[in-house]
A and B are shown apart, each in its own frame.
Chain A
């Protein structure tokens, strides 16, 4: 039987705290969502000033990364390159700001961020995932 790593609440708290610190350092008000590899919400923080839409978008970016096991930017770039049919992919939000969480070569979930420019959203998500080492 295969065993695989799984995110705990403690992991989520560490990821979220590091991401929030990165946002605060830049005075950015964002929402940070962490989901497991099946796209189930594990942890969410909506900072003061971030909109209700940011919460929904952060979850969807995170889901995109977690379930497809790749950055949501990959989807955005495929479409930008002319692959418009990718817009119809189920459960995919093709906007930068969602990153997969890869542990021991296995995707254990995703982090989605929304609230500032997309590349800045991704910077926050990356800062969060970095704490896992």
Chain B
């Protein structure tokens, strides 16, 4: 208890010292994140994907992987990122079981393809903050499933290169359009 209070005391002292400094952080014209967009652009969420729809999207992705001879894991989630359907193809690497789910979850929760994170992180240090956001995965292969202009879920694919994963994922997402 004594140790905790002394720690809290030193912490508040640090905060006092820095709070004035924080208010004075000048804008950095070199940082593209300083711009304040007028509008919020997003695709609205719809109802949670039905199992039949999830199977249809995953089967389209599975057919494309089978045709190309790429062993993949395919995960389909609802708008909140909760798992609805999952398949692991024979000989797919073990790591992809969780990566496929992660890509699908991140794509649904952030309402965008995971390639967006990959591209922005590649653009340099002003975008490295993205890696600090909850549950981000900066690797392509996760794509939202959009029906009637609304996001009903997302599909995540892992097992090959990022580009192979994304091709399969997009084939799955496109089957719902």
Asked whether B110 is an interface residue with its Cβ less than 8 Å from the other chain, the reply is no
Give complex CA distance A55, B85 in Å: 9
A8 contact from B50, B78, B86, B90, Cβ within 8 A: B90
Residues of A within 8 A of B78 (CB): 52
B78, B80, B85, B89 — most chain A CB neighbours (10 Å): B85
Q: Is A55 touching B82 in the complex (CB atoms < 8 A)?
A: yes
Contacting residues, chain B, for A52 (C-beta < 8 A): 78, 80, 82-83
A46 pairs with B97, CB closer than 8 A: no
Is A40 a contact of B94 with CB atoms below 8 Å? yes
Contact B90 A43 (CB under 8 A): no
Question: B51 contacts which chain A residues (CB < 8 A)?
Answer: 45-48
Bound complex: CA A41 to CA B89 (Å): 11
What per-residue 1/0 map shows which CB atoms of B80-106 lie under 8 Å from chain A?
A: 101111111110001001000000000
Cα–Cα distance between A40 and B88 once the two chains are bound (Å): 10
Give the A interface residue count (CB, 8 A).
14
Q: Which residues of B contact A47 (CB under 8 A)?
A: 51
> CA of A42 to CA of B85 in the docked complex: distance in angstroms?
11
What is the bound-complex CA distance between A101 and B97, given in angstroms? 20
> Is the CB–CB distance between A48 and B50 below 8 Å?
yes
- CA A12 – CA B73 in complex, angstroms? 14
Separation of A8 and B88 alpha carbons in the complex (Å): 9
Interface centre among A41, A42, A48, A52 (most CB of B within 10 A): A41
Contacts A46-B83, A48-B51 given; does A41 touch B90 at CB 8 Å: no
Residue of B at shortest CB range from A52?
B82
The 10 closest A-B pairs by CB, nearest first: A52-B82, A44-B86, A42-B88, A55-B83, A46-B84, A8-B90, A41-B97, A48-B51, A9-B90, A48-B50
Point out residues on A near B: beta carbons under 8 Å. Answer: 8-9, 12, 40-48, 52, 55
